């Protein structure tokens, strides 16, 4: 395992609460929304190991709820769909040291940093990765599969 993989494994292992940005880590929020590869099994796996999950979206919370329901994922999140990270933290009872935010935007990175929450950037392409890294993201992935692999190794 490389140092970056070790760091990612540490973030995943420490996470008791996981907050997902909606557009990117869960789906591509276009009409119709298109699922991010590995998002559904990742969400179900994290739920199975007992993590509290939430969604943070600057899109319509109702649209996010409908999407989750349509994918059969609403039970994994319950009512925990929020427009802001601070509300998600309060609503999930999350503590910064045991919370992980998986996001695709600089705004999500900045919000996580301000809240003292660990952040993993999700970048569909090299340009998005560059933008996240230039903004200070230390962990950026282009697939959710490595996180699933880490979770499966922890159980």
Instruction: Please tell me whether residue 114 adopts helix, strand or coil conformation.
Output: helix
Tell me what pLDDT residue 2 has: 65
Name residues whose C-beta falls within 8 Å of residue 78's C-beta, 6 or more positions apart in sequence: none
> Is residue 46 predicted with pLDDT exceeding 60?
yes
Specify the pTM: 0.94
Place of tokens 């994994």: 76
Instruction: Please tell me whether residue 84 adopts helix, strand or coil conformation.
Output: coil
pLDDT tens-place string over residues 117-138: 999 999 999 999 999 999 999 9
Tell me what pLDDT residue 60 has: 87
Tell me what pLDDT residue 34 has: 86
| Range with the largest mean pLDDT of 1-5, 30-34, 59-63 | 59-63
Q: Residue 127 burial by CB count (10 A; 0-12/13-18/19+): exposed, middle or buried? A: exposed
């Amino acid at each position: 395992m490389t140092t970056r993989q070790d760091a990612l494994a540490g973030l995943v292992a420490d996470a008791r609460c996981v907050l997902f940005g909606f557009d990117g880590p869960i789906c591509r929020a276009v009409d119709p929304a298109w699922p991010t590869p590995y998002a559904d099994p990742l969400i179900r796996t994290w739920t199975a190991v007992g993590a509290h999950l939430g969604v943070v979206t600057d899109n319509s919370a109702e649209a996010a709820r409908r999407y989750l329901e349509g994918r059969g994922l609403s039970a994994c999140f319950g009512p925990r769909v929020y427009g802001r990270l601070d509300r998600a933290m309060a609503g999930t009872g999350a503590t910064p040291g045991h919370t992980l935010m998986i996001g695709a935007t600089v705004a999500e990175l900045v919000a996580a940093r301000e809240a003292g929450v660990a952040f993993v950037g999700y970048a569909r392409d090299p340009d998005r990765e560059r933008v996240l890294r230039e903004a200070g993201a230390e962990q950026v992935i282009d697939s959710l599969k490595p996180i699933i692999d880490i979770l499966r190794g922890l159980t």
